[in-house]
Structure 1
């Protein structure tokens, strides 16, 4: 494991353990924080996740005769959207019906799936050997994404999240570390994993990080989008990421 990946993984663990301490308590500051974070996350999806998914699709099509179209990995990404959206919908439905015991039980299922999600994200970071400045900028976007997801889970059932949930999410990061170091999967399998978590990440970014109209601070959101996109695209141009 490279030092870059180790530092990034350790930061992800701290984020899940201390996420709510990182968010400003004042309403205006909190809205600006989430707007800026959302801008970075949306930019990350468009300048990294979608282009990388396209590149993975082209590689898979070139070296695997079974993949004859140009959309197989996008279908896998759609499955990621469907699965995570379905789980969240079931939890919300139980909450709206006032069945708190069922909702709390289903919330554990949601925590488990986000633990698996964290594991796959961490595995992808390690297996793709993201290093140097690239690790800093991609790690920043993913880290802020983790903060937003953790905060939303905390708002649903803070007692469950604080007592056990955050440790489950942190253990997902550690499990992904171990898998990334010890397990070497085929390029096809790694592409499928990337596509699945890409779909889940796109859903979670739009759901958790894109602020609603009444809570958005658009200038801060725009600054996040423009700054992250400009810097990342410049680094892509100069360093051929």
Structure 2
């Protein structure tokens, strides 16, 4: 494991353990924080995740006649959207119907799926050997994304999240590290994993990190989009990411 990946992993773990300490307490500052991080996350999806998914789709063509549609990995990404959206929908429905006991039980299911999500993200970082400046910008976007997701889970059931949930999510990062170090999957399998978590990440970014209209600070959101996109595109141009 590279030093870059190790530092990112430690940062991701600390984010899950301390996410709610990192969010500004005042409402205005909190809204600006989420608007800015939402801008970075949306930019990350469009300038990094989608191009990388396209690159992976081109790569799997070498596996011959099994992949001729030029959209197989996009379908896997769509499955990621479908599965995570379905789980969240079931949990929200139980909450709205005031089924408190059932909703708390289903919340555990949501925590477990996000633990798996974290594991796959961590595995992807290790297996793709994200290094140097690229690791910094990858870690920044994913780290802010983790903060938004963790904060949303905390707002649903703070007692469950603080007592056990945040540790499950941190263990997911550790499990991804372990798999990345000890398991050598085929390039095709790694592409499928990347596609699945890309779909899940796109859903989570649009669901968790884009503030509702009445809570959004558009100027701060725009600053996040423009700044992250400008820097990332410049680095792609000069370093051929």
* TM-score, with structure 2 as normaliser: 0.99
Q: Which residue of 2 aligns with 1:228?
A: 228
User: May I ask how many residue pairs the two structures share in their alignment?
Assistant: 241
- Please report how far the alpha carbon of residue 142 of structure 1 lies from its aligned counterpart in structure 2 after TM superposition: 0.1
Q: Which residue of 2 aligns with 1:173?
A: 173
Q: Contact 1:15 / 1:143 at 8 angstroms: preserved in 2?
A: yes
Over the aligned positions, Cα root-mean-square deviation in angstroms equals: 0.5
Q: Which residue of 2 aligns with 1:206?
A: 206
Taking the TM superposition and a 5 Å limit, the aligned residue runs for 1:65-144 are 65-144=65-144
For 2:233 and 2:136, the matched residues in 1 are separated by 14
1:134 aligned counterpart, secondary structure: helix
For 1:7 and 1:96, the matched residues in 2 are separated by 40
Q: Contact 1:61 / 1:69 at 8 angstroms: preserved in 2?
A: no
Q: Which residue of 2 aligns with 1:152?
A: 152
- Please report how far the alpha carbon of residue 64 of structure 1 lies from its aligned counterpart in structure 2 after TM superposition: 3.4
Q: Can you list the C-alpha shifts for 1:4-24, whole angstroms capped at 9, x where unaligned?
A: 000000000000000000000
Q: Which residue of 1 aligns with 2:238?
A: 238
For 1:64 and 1:93, the matched residues in 2 are separated by 44
Q: Contact 1:61 / 1:68 at 8 angstroms: preserved in 2?
A: yes
- Please report how far the alpha carbon of residue 65 of structure 1 lies from its aligned counterpart in structure 2 after TM superposition: 2.4
For 1:86 and 1:64, the matched residues in 2 are separated by 33
- Please report how far the alpha carbon of residue 63 of structure 1 lies from its aligned counterpart in structure 2 after TM superposition: 3.1
For 1:181 and 1:6, the matched residues in 2 are separated by 11
Q: Which residue of 2 aligns with 1:30?
A: 30
For 1:223 and 1:153, the matched residues in 2 are separated by 26
For 2:95 and 2:68, the matched residues in 1 are separated by 44
Taking the TM superposition and a 5 Å limit, the aligned residue runs for 1:32-47 are 32-47=32-47
For 2:2 and 2:61, the matched residues in 1 are separated by 30
Q: Contact 1:34 / 1:209 at 8 angstroms: preserved in 2?
A: yes
Gaps of 5+ in 2: none
* TM-score, with structure 1 as normaliser: 0.99
Structure 1 runs, 4 residues or longer, greater than 6 Å off? none
Gaps of 5+ in 1: none
- Please report how far the alpha carbon of residue 211 of structure 1 lies from its aligned counterpart in structure 2 after TM superposition: 1.0
For 2:138 and 2:6, the matched residues in 1 are separated by 14
For 1:179 and 1:73, the matched residues in 2 are separated by 22
1:68 aligned counterpart, secondary structure: coil
Q: Which residue of 2 aligns with 1:6?
A: 6
For 2:226 and 2:44, the matched residues in 1 are separated by 11
